[in-house]
Amino acid sequence: MGDQFPRFKAAAVMASSVFLDREATTQKVCGLIAEASQAGAKLIVFSEVLIPGYPYWIWLFSPTQGAPYFVDLFKNAVEIDSPTVRKLGRAARAADAHVVVGVSEREGGTLYNTLLYFDNRGELIGRHRKLQPTHVERTIWGHGDGSDLRVFETELGKLSGLICWEHSMDLTRYALTAQGEQIHVAVWPGVSALAHDPNSKIFNAITEAAARHHAFAGQCFVINVQAPIGTDVIEKLGLNDKPELIRAGGGWTAIVGPNGQIVAGPLTDQEGIVYAEIDLEQIVLAKYCCDSAGHYARPDVLRLSVQFESQPVLEKARPAEVSVIPVKAQPSQARHTEDAATSDQNRRTSALGERAPTLLGIPRR
């Protein structure tokens, strides 16, 4: 009979936030978790920073003009130990589903573009902070580090993900592939509805190319989710009469198989849920052809080094290690050296007490 691989239904939820309203967006997300669960989904994925919404003003206004919106974003951001996270956990547990959702995370005075991972018991099993906020996103979010570049072992399979332009970071993607990733979450904002940006016309095509390439290159399933821009975003930014700058809609959501082919979707320009049956056995034949972290790798030529430890701004300093090396005098100088050492010791003992060293200390590098 041999081994059996997990099979389950995945849901890619393409939904707009209730813009800059953490509680209302969380309530909406919990309702969508329940809806997807009723359809049989065991993995439910939401878009980048859905709670409390993507800061589209950074592409439209100057930092000074955008400052009041940042204050609103900061006030509605999500802390890890918070009622919001506990509410999301309860929704995942009630649905008996694994849930991945993007939030603007707040720690201290800094925000982070973060993916939260919940298992079907409602436990927060991990997070991923975007390693490198893109372009003007750096006026909003801080940097993640390697401590969040993890693949999570779940009963559905090995689960991980990246945020938006991180998919252009080949070493970052390979770090997940090398850890055995089987299910990849790819989340993005609905940039295709930023009408004033010439690049918005190709954003969906880039998203599709990135999702399909990672699925093929990593031999994994990709759950790709964007969020359409809601009319409340346009209203709050005061741009109702500026369709040349921003419009409602946008987004490209689909599920991709390990051969790089789309198995469900795409859904564009509207809210909805894309479902697909995931069978991890399909990865076997993809690996048979090309196992990028196994028989198709060449570590004798190329290998990746990853710093998985966190990089705190404050840590307790360790006492300097000291290597003690006795000073050995020549026989003819022994008496003179002994007298000099005794005299020197007496002087230092008088000044420093019994802690004065009698041997030469050299800091170890």
Task: List residues with catalytic annotation.
Answer: 48, 130, 164
d(CA 42, CA 99): 8
Beta-carbon contacts of residue 299 (< 8 Å; ≥ 6 apart): none
Give backbone dihedrals phi and psi of 234, rounded to 5 degrees, phi first.
-65, -40
Residue among 157, 211, 285, 174 nearest 12 (CA):
211
3-class DSSP assignment, residue 121: coil
Q: Which amino acid is at 43?
A: L
- Which residues share a beta bridge with 250? none
- Residue 301, classified by CB atoms within 10 Å of its CB into exposed (0-12), middle (13-18) or buried (19+), is exposed
d(CA 98, CA 80): 17
Beta-carbon contacts of residue 343 (< 8 Å; ≥ 6 apart): none
Residue among 72, 159, 76, 153 nearest 115 (CA):
159
How would you classify the pairing of strands 272-279 and 7-14? antiparallel
